[in-house]
Amino acid sequence: MDYQYYDEPDYIDDDGGSEDIYPDHESSPDHRYYHNGNAYENDNSLMDRLGDSYANCILPSLGQVLSYLLPLLAGCLLSRLLTALYATTRQQQRRVLSPLHLINALCGLGMLYATLGERILLLLLLSGISYLLLQLVRLSPGLGKGQRGAVTIAVLCIGSQFIYELAIWQQREDWPQLRGLQMVSNMKVISLAFDMTATGTPGSSELRMPSILAYLGYIYNPASCVLGPWLSYSRYLDSLCHKPHWRRSLLQMLCNVLLCLLALSVSNCIAPALGELHLQDQDEVEATRRGGVSHWLLMYTGALSVRSSHYFVSFLSQALLAAAGQRLDSTQHASSQLLGDLVSRPWHIEWPHSLSALVRCWNVPMHEWLKRYVYAASKQRSRHNTIVAVFCTYIVSSLLHGMDLRIYLVLLSLATFAEGETMLRRHLATLSNACVAANPCPGAERCRYTHCPRQRGWRCFSSWLVAFTNVAFTLLAIFHLAYLGIVLLNETLTVETDHEMPFMFHWAAAGYLSHYIGIGMFMLYLFIS
């Protein structure tokens, strides 16, 4: 996402900085169905490895993922076509939205049935319970006013995920596939509850309780029910009757599908093949276990595989949005003429200006959800204490992902690193009057710092010093990305051993260096301030 916050204090929000609102790396569609576990020979050259990866991994993966993509795209296009036909037949009459809700609900349920089979009954049961809870909040005199009822709904929705996961503790293979779907559904229910009880919020109006058909059409909207992303109920209603032009939508769908396939190839095949280049023999594997440059390269390629898996789901989500003609709740620079509304911005993630800017680009819709319903409420209750609001936001984001210790460790570590970096860079920018804050430069006309390369030009020595400082923090953010992302790769980085190492092995092999740097930034900020 590209929310630009240039006013102090800097806003930091987590959007699932390790994993987004979609299924986890090991349970996302590419790794769930198409991961190729074949080991490559150690004596092959780089070109030989890439050639083997193309023949034995990329082509089979693309063939299998296309069979997964086609039913999803067909469901979205079908809903778009039926909606257009209904709009044509009702041009001269008052348009009734109930048939449009029914079209969305049936197409979305059909897509879910093609993906889940009979397990869709569980999602229907949980959605029915959520609707009853919304009715209870509306009818209860003590809960219907203010945000108390919405908070109650949020606690119950998040708690239902934990209860379900505990209920199937002996069948954990069923949960990863359903967790992402239920997470998106819970986010929609929670946002609907907050919007229904919103009073006195600038720019917002209190929504009425939707009918059961409108509720099902919103929850099972074909553009967002399978992989997400989150969209508000008001945005869903707006998109029912206002669709983009067909030609633009098809072009955006095609571009996103191509990028989706590219991300799949990198995640499943190219990144693992590059990582295995460093494993020449067992002695080097043992050396990697003890740390060193090879271990850091393996960590980066492993984390790249995790990030590419997220990009795969994001581009696929954007393709479904374009096919269905669905718009997202977004602000300026959160959309593209070529790709449509953006779910993720990989180009700002691979070369981040800062960690706080990175998490705003990781998952645009979830960032917007957390910003509206968690960060703003937490900051208001904590008397404008930004740090408390930030950590509350990361904690809620962690809980939405269910019972996964890796997510908790990664997100809380990310919150610490990002907040420490933001406070330190803000203070350095103030002391030196230089454009080195965590937020990207807003431009020569809007930047309030004297030493800004866009204002003074590149003939000034201070401009090069500012650029060098920002690049140093960018490299540090890439270092943190590799360090944090590797624990989300649910497999060993070595190919000679059959057993899986503990997920914190790589942090221990790295000497927990990233944690020391993150804590050190906090200490340095306290020392110089």
Distance spanning both ends of the chain, measured CA to CA: 31
Q: In this structure, are residues 451 and 428 in contact, taking their beta carbons and an 8 Å threshold?
A: no
Helices 246-265 and 293-324, interaxial angle, to 10°? Answer: 160
Residues 6 or more apart whose Cβ sits within 8 Å of residue 186:
130, 157, 158, 160, 161, 400
Which residues contact residue 356 at a Cβ distance below 8 angstroms, ignoring those fewer than 6 apart?
10, 11, 12, 418, 419, 421, 422, 438, 439
Annotated catalytic residue, options 31, 278, 353, 401: 401
- Helix 175-196 crosses helix 98-116 at what angle (to 10 degrees)? 160
To the query of whether residue 401 is one of the catalytic residues in this protein, the response is yes
Instruction: Determine which helix (DSSP H) or strand (DSSP E) holds 293, and give its type and residue range.
Output: helix 293-324
DSSP state for residue 351 in the 8-state scheme:
S
Q: Give the whole-angstrom CA distance, residue 26 versus residue 440.
A: 33
Cis peptide before 222 (omega within 30 of 0): no
CA atoms within a 13 Å half-sphere pointing along the CA-CB vector of 491: 22
- What does the alpha-carbon distance between residue 411 and residue 205 come to, in Å, rounded to a whole number? 33
What type of residue is 300? Answer: Y
- A 10 A CB-CB count for 57 gives 22
Rg (CA), the chain: 24
Cis before 71 (ω within 30): no
CA atoms within 13 A on the CB side of 58: 18
Pairwise CA distance, residues 509 & 393, whole Å: 30
CA distance 400 to 155: 10
Plot region of 129 (φ>0 → left; ψ -120 to 50 → alpha; else → beta): alpha
Residues assigned a catalytic role: 401
